[in-house]
Amino acid sequence: MRLSRFFLPILRETPKEAEIVSHRLMLRAGMIRQQSAGIYSWLPLGKIVLSKIEQIVREEQNRSGAIELLMPTIQSAELWRESGRYDAYGKEMLRIEDRHEREMLYGPTNEEMVTDIFRSAVRSYRDLPLNLYHIQWKFRDEVRPRFGVMRGREFLMKDAYSFDIDRERAREAYNRMFVAYLRTFDRLGLKAIPMRADTGPIGGDLSHEFIILASTGESAVFCSKDILDLPIPPDDVDFRGDLSPIVTAWTTPYAATDEMHDAAAFEALPEDKRVSARGIEVGHIFYFGTKYSGPMGANVAGPDGVEQPVHMGSYGIGVSRLMGAIIEASHDEAGIIWPESVAPFAVGLINLKTGDQKTDSVCDGLYERLTNAGVAVLFDDVDGRAGAKFATMDLIGLPWQLVVGPKGLERGEVELKRRATGERLTLSVDAAVNRLM
Ligand code: ATP
Ligand code: MG
Ligand code: MG
Ligand code: MG
């Protein structure tokens, strides 16, 4: 992408309304624009990153055996009356009336709808296990939308729903999601800690929140240092095998959110093992049994032919919140430092002197070679001061900067800078290309 053709509305000033660094940087880097409280447009740079996060989430869901579908954002109140949640959900639900005065709502979550889909088609234990997920916009009319996309009112969520014949099988489905989550957050460059969590209004008795430690997090969390460097399950982990040893390893060290905190158990840890911190909830998994299948009549026949309500779990990931969480975890004074897996472009190519024939032609050549090799390049081909160009590249946080100017070219050299470390290499044009491919 040539910067001259891109839409990157950078802000030089620090926006006053932004209280935390990720929100400030997303606004300054031209990634989002607020349209109403807690409702954002995703500008091109933000949209690229959002899609990359979404794709990693999708790949790991698929790897674990979950199946993607897409349910609508607008739902009918009828379904929510069946589960009893239409009245119980309260003011966070955005209620809408259509022209026929039918009560509708903008979905805050999809347990009812997916249970309805399930009951319309599945009758037997032979069709289980089943895990259906979608990645769709949600709306929750939060009392205090804040911190940008971290607590939006409209936000993108991955929500998966598992269906099993009994509690034991449902536990296996839970373990598959648990492992998929460990892998997902690791691929996003994050250290997410599974912590025992309250099940809240969704109900049930088995639940973990996946938490990123960050001083700006909204939850108080407690864990043992031992959980911080457990190994992440590899990409060939067998999702059809027994995952309980992995889950046991990750649930043995103490780790709990505020609501589930057991001060006595925590204080029994040696003092140098205790981590008491703040955290961002990026994912949440629940087993809730027959809470929805019971009242909604989602029954399946077991091997004995007897019909019984199906056992369910639900599994959320805050896809849009993750963008804020990644920036909270990875930035410096100058701006964002994207992990390679979600970086909007791999390389920022900077032409220090547009209009200089030699510099222009070397830059054009580099842009073409890298692009043809499948490397995503943002090419700063606009006329501007070097200082401003460097500041913009640091702000938007691409992993590599490739700097080309007439002085270096006299010696046949370009400069390659690694954003994360600031390390600079002076190389020939060919060596720089080889380095980036
Ligand atoms: P929170 O405690 O932050 O209000 P929640 O527990 O209400 O979140 P869940 O119902 O567990 O949220 O939804 C699954 C995931 O969706 C959360 O783990 C979080 O990552 C994300 N999420 C929830 N609410 C928001 C929001 N208002 N803005 C952005 N992401 C959100
Ligand atoms: Mg909430
Ligand atoms: Mg929560
Ligand atoms: Mg939650």
Q: How far is the CA of 115 from the centre of ligand 3 (A)?
A: 22
Dihedral sign of CA atoms 321, 325, 331, 334 in order: positive
* Cα–Cα nearest to 315, from 20, 114, 35, 37: 114
Q: Which residue has the tokens 């700063």?
A: 380
pLDDT in tens, 285-325: 999 999 999 999 999 999 999 999 999 999 999 999 999 99
**Closest protein CA for atom 11 of ligand 1:** 284
In whole angstroms, what is the distance from residue 185 CA to residue 232 CA? 10
pLDDT over 80 at 202, yes or no: no
* Whole-number percent of the chain with pLDDT over 70: 99
pLDDT over 90 at 387, yes or no: yes
In whole angstroms, what is the distance from residue 261 CA to residue 222 CA? 7
CA dihedral 106→109→111→114, nearest 10 degrees, is 60
C-beta 142 within 6 A of ligand 1: yes
Closest ligand 1 atom to 280 CA: 3
C-beta 324 within 6 A of ligand 1: no
Q: Show the tokens assigned to 207.
A: 């639940």
Closest ligand 1 atom to 159 CA: 14
Is this complex scored with an ipTM above 0.85? yes
C-beta 233 within 6 A of ligand 1: no
C-beta 282 within 6 A of ligand 1: yes
pLDDT over 70 at 82, yes or no: yes
In whole angstroms, what is the distance from residue 181 CA to residue 177 CA? 6
Burial 299-323 (b: 16+ CB within 10 A, else e): bbeeeeeeebbbbbbbbbbbbbbbb
* Contact by Cβ (8 Å): 113, 75: yes
Q: What is the pLDDT of residue 331?
A: 98
Q: What is the pLDDT of residue 198?
A: 82
pLDDT over 80 at 188, yes or no: yes
List, as ranges, residues with CB under 5 A of the ion ligand 3: 281
Beta carbons within 10 angstroms of residue 241's beta carbon: 8
Q: What is the pLDDT of residue 175?
A: 98
> Is omega for the bond preceding 129 within 30 degrees of 0, making it cis?
yes
Closest ligand 1 atom to 145 CA: 27
In whole angstroms, what is the distance from residue 153 CA to residue 40 CA? 9
Band of the pLDDT at 200, cuts 50, 70, 90? low
pLDDT over 60 at 77, yes or no: yes
pLDDT in tens, 17-43: 899 999 999 999 999 999 999 999 999
pTM of the model: 0.97
In whole angstroms, what is the distance from residue 213 CA to residue 275 CA? 10
- Of 2-16, 192-206, 313-327, least confident by mean pLDDT is 192-206
C-beta 318 within 6 A of ligand 1: yes
Q: Show the tokens assigned to 239.
A: 């999702």
* Cα–Cα nearest to 237, from 228, 229, 249: 249
**Closest protein CA for atom 12 of ligand 1:** 284
pLDDT in tens, 214-223: 999 999 999 9
Q: What is the pLDDT of residue 205?
A: 59
C-beta 196 within 6 A of ligand 1: no
Band of the pLDDT at 201, cuts 50, 70, 90? low
Q: How far is the CA of 422 from the centre of ligand 4 (A)?
A: 37
